[in-house]
A = this chain, B = another copy of it.
């Protein structure tokens, strides 16, 4: 049990003994995301949201597959060189992931963490690497505006008016190849979330439903490591968007922590107000493309040395909403650090 003591820190957080490297990250997005403020950070902007496919579900699968293939190419790996493919998405029975897995042919671990899937995947993938069960893993997730709208709300052809607090599901996919050894930023810690439900029932207000879960994971993480928000160059929530982001700040303050300019939300960052995307982005792709695009490239450029990503997910289905259930939410957090800072002043944690 000696190894156990060293790898768990506090109640909820694990610290990797040999922090896995992000060997490559890739982001493939749709036109709307390509017109947003983060455009320059995405590897591929596809002009056609249908990606040449006949249905939005097939288009989403294509986004996921292409992001995975691009990440492998960047890492100079064939699918045969990867031990596990960890993936999930929002579609019923995560078919985008399973159909991409069919094409990739890598042993496949299907996940569902709603819009928090990228952090769930990186957390698990890092555990498999640090635990000695793999030398390379591919993590990927996707979402698509049209497939999500028609599954969770209404087909876009109906032109239903959007609610004021509604978010806009990002179209795209993010993928990362993690390795037990290699260059690149490393994953140093992971904090797996609990399900938190404050009784919110409005499926057009996911940000408010998810904010308490993000706070629970964030505060647990800080307490486990004895850190403050200022110990990170960047703290990112996944897709709280404008309403949830403000609520997150308030709830964190009540716990005695102050957020500064180093805090932002992927859903707020992904679009500009002129793009008519409601209060901001959402979907599995939201934090995935920001992490695999903006964060990865900014870290390689030396802009950030330690980033905390808290991906957020709403664990409902249309059916649970129709049956009057409130919206359970979850948040998973990962710490990404520049490879040269991992052992600096971190002795206590």
Contacts and interface: CB of A to CB of B under 8 A. Distances in A.
Given A127-B131, A132-B3, A12 B98 contact: no
Nearest to A2: B132
A97 to B, nearest CB: 8
A318 B92 CA distance: 9
Interface residues of A, number: 62
Contact of A133 (B8, B57, B112): B8
Interface string A110-121: 111110000010
Nearest to A128: B127
Contact of A135 (B1, B90, B108): B1
A99 B323 CA distance: 13
Contacts of A317: 91-93, 95
A244 interface: no
Contact of A315 (B88, B93, B130): B93
Interface string A148-184: 0000000000000000000000000000000011000
Interface stretch (A33-41, A192-200, A260-268): A192-200
Interface string A83-110: 1100010111111001101100111111
Interface in A194-235: 194-195, 197
A6 interface: yes
Interface of A: 1, 3-4, 6-8, 12, 14, 17, 55, 57-58, 83-84, 88, 90-95, 98-99, 101-102, 105-114, 120, 124, 127-128, 130-135, 180-181, 192-195, 197, 315-320, 323, 325, 328, 330
